[in-house]
Amino acid sequence: MKRTTVPQRTRIFRAVTIFASGMGAAMLALWALDMVGLTLNSYREAATFGAIVLGLASLAGAGTAHAYFVGSDDTTEAYEEILNTDPVTGLLSRKGLAKALPDYVGKQGGPTRMNRYFLISLDFDTLRDFNEIYGVETGDSLLRVFGERLRRVVGETGLVARTSGGEFVVSLGVNHDERELRAAVDALLGVLALPVRVGKASHSVFWNAGVAEVHQSRPSLERILRHANLARSTSRAAGRGTWSIYHPEMSQMAAYRHWVEAELYGALQRDELSLHYQPKVLAATGETIGYEALLRWNHHQKGSIPPSEFIPVAEQCGLIQQIGDFVLRRVCEDLGKLPDHITVSANVSAAQFNRDGFVANLGRLLTETETRPERLEIEVTETLLIRNLAEVRRIMNGLRELGISLAIDDFGTGYSNLSTLSELRFNTLKIDKSFVDRLTESDDSASAMVASIVGMARSIDAGVVAEGVETQEQFTLLKAAGCTVMQGYLFGKPMPLSAIKARAGEARATGDANMPFLASDNEELLAATG
């Protein structure tokens, strides 16, 4: 039989008796609310949470204090079970994992077995999008499916928990051979990447993972999970479906990201952000028909900070919208200083694109800067297309009504299909640099992807721009595949507006109309490829 507690011996019961004997039911109810808060934080001082509630109810009903009430530890155990279990998936909760981890490592490991234990943090960052598009019930169904998949893979040999949102944590023991760990993580990511059918729809989700070792002498969940999450963040920067193992340098990188975030807030006020423009040229003639605006940050102490280091931070901390506004305004202002036939494309983040009033604000900016809308092109990434498609379509139609062109950046790396592209009516598809790089590596899949993108573009009457063209061989292969516009270091590095204007002035002085837009060595290239 479970142990019981005599409440007269507890501080809480004596307080109840004193208050109940001298106060009415209304005051007792207010006191009860306060006691509930106390109980949730330090319920060990009372018999049980349930016993206190029952006792207070009796007191309020009778208007007087009873002699005693009894609380059973069954209630405490049930309360502990609730806290230790994730209510959606039935897996361990964060609290449950913290409680189970030391016992798991202590029982499973040992010097004689020479096993190593790792915490694997797995996360998909689109749960919020799924909840917004399909509803929370669908999101919960996805979580249950993923939880069951992990449980089947891990079996009885490890721990599986859902710690928050779309974050799952697995603890596994492996031998010293790191290949075993890699095989285990690959198996977890592989089973999670399989499509999930919920109702009539099939969903695919991209995951990232981070791994940190659990030291048997110090199996502290918070420290290890922090390390695993740092490794996961590092893997996300490398692309979806990847994973990393924690090393101490990652903590230094995290500190650097915090520094970047703090400094980024003052970068706009200090006028440290600027735009450089990279030319886009016609493959047939080498003529520059436009530029892509690329953001640059020249820090007052550190000098140039690469966009790959501060753009992700801006997206995480919410500054990307303010920075995006700066970019669009500067592009519109600079367009007035470029030849009338030149267009400029500007990248717009998903957060800025989906912000209320984006189309209206951009329309006012065009009017204010006297910019012809057909000279501005908005670039978005494929990840935007997994959001509410109806809302994306509405915003794109608004931009199209203004006369603005639309391009999809880094095409071929995400979610797009011909049906979606045809429905949204993009003006331009930009072939991702990763495919261009692989063209000269005898990679048949890259060649097939480029040909497929060119074919898709033609079928929806859209243009194609190949990004990251750096060699003559790439240029030749892309031109043969049907790419009509190209961009990359082969044609010119990104440069400030002042450099473009200086080259234009030099061209006027020499009478060479192509000089601002085409280097002399590229004239030979174009002649050689005919």
Per-residue pLDDT tens over the stretch 249-283:
888 888 888 999 999 999 988 999 999 999 999 99
Note whether 67 and 149 are same-domain residues. no
Q: Which of 48, 74, 63, 66 is nearest to 8 (CA)?
A: 66
Note whether 192 and 311 are same-domain residues. no
Say yes or no to pLDDT of 69 above 80: no
- 199-253: pLDDT as tens digits: 777 777 889 999 999 876 666 788 899 999 999 988 877 777 889 999 988 888 8
Q: How far apart are CA 85 and CA 83, in angstroms?
A: 6
Question: What's phi and psi for 275, nearest 5 deg?
Answer: -115, 140
Note whether 145 and 77 are same-domain residues. no
Q: Say what the pLDDT of residue 107 is.
A: 66
Say yes or no to pLDDT of 55 above 60: no
The residue type found at 173 is G
- Contact status, residue 74 vs residue 140, Cβ threshold 8 Å: no
Note whether 177 and 263 are same-domain residues. no
Note whether 116 and 140 are same-domain residues. yes
Q: How far is CA 210 from CA 98, 122, 174, 413, in A?
A: 18, 7, 16, 22
C-alpha atoms less than 13 angstroms from C-alpha of 142 in its C-beta half-sphere = 29
**Dihedral over Cα of 219, 225, 230, 232: its sign:** positive
Active-site positions read 467
How many domains is the chain partitioned into structurally?
3
Angle at 466 between CA 125 and CA 401, to 5 degrees: 70
- pLDDT band of residue 485 (cuts 50, 70, 90) is very high
Residue range 38-60: mean pLDDT, rounded: 42
Note whether 189 and 219 are same-domain residues. yes
Task: Tally Cβ neighbours within 10 Å of residue 317.
Answer: 15
Longest alpha-carbon distance in the chain: 106
Note whether 435 and 382 are same-domain residues. yes
Q: How far is CA 73 from CA 43, 70, 106, in A?
A: 11, 10, 27
- Contact status, residue 173 vs residue 158, Cβ threshold 8 Å: yes
Say yes or no to pLDDT of 39 above 70: no
Beta strands (DSSP E) in 85-180 are 116-123, 159-164, 167-174
Q: How far apart are CA 37 and CA 52, in angstroms?
A: 12
Q: How far apart are CA 249 and CA 528, in angstroms?
A: 48
Q: Which of 191, 208, 97 is nearest to 146 (CA)?
A: 191
Note whether 91 and 75 are same-domain residues. no
- pLDDT band of residue 38 (cuts 50, 70, 90) is very low
Domain at 212, CATH number: 3.30.70.270
Chain-centroid distance, C-alpha 453: 26
The residue type found at 89 is T
Domain that holds residue 42: 4-81
Note whether 478 and 343 are same-domain residues. yes
Judging by beta carbons within 10 Å of its beta carbon (0-12, 13-18, 19+), is residue 221 exposed, middle or buried?
Answer: buried
The secondary structure element, H or E, covering residue 97 is helix 94-108
Note whether 298 and 337 are same-domain residues. yes
Q: How far apart are CA 296 and CA 311, in angstroms?
A: 10
Residue carrying structure tokens 């989700």:
205
Task: Tally Cβ neighbours within 10 Å of residue 118.
Answer: 21
Note whether 68 and 112 are same-domain residues. no
Note whether 189 and 284 are same-domain residues. no
Domain stop point among 57, 81, 105: 81
Q: How far apart are CA 137 and CA 523, in angstroms?
A: 60
Say what the pTM is: 0.63
Domain stop point among 34, 63, 81: 81
Domain at 345, CATH number: 3.20.20.450
Say yes or no to pLDDT of 500 above 60: yes
Residue range 23-48: mean pLDDT, rounded: 42
- pLDDT band of residue 65 (cuts 50, 70, 90) is very low
Q: How far apart are CA 35 and CA 354, in angstroms?
A: 45
Domain stop point among 29, 53, 81: 81
Task: Tally Cβ neighbours within 10 Å of residue 500.
Answer: 23
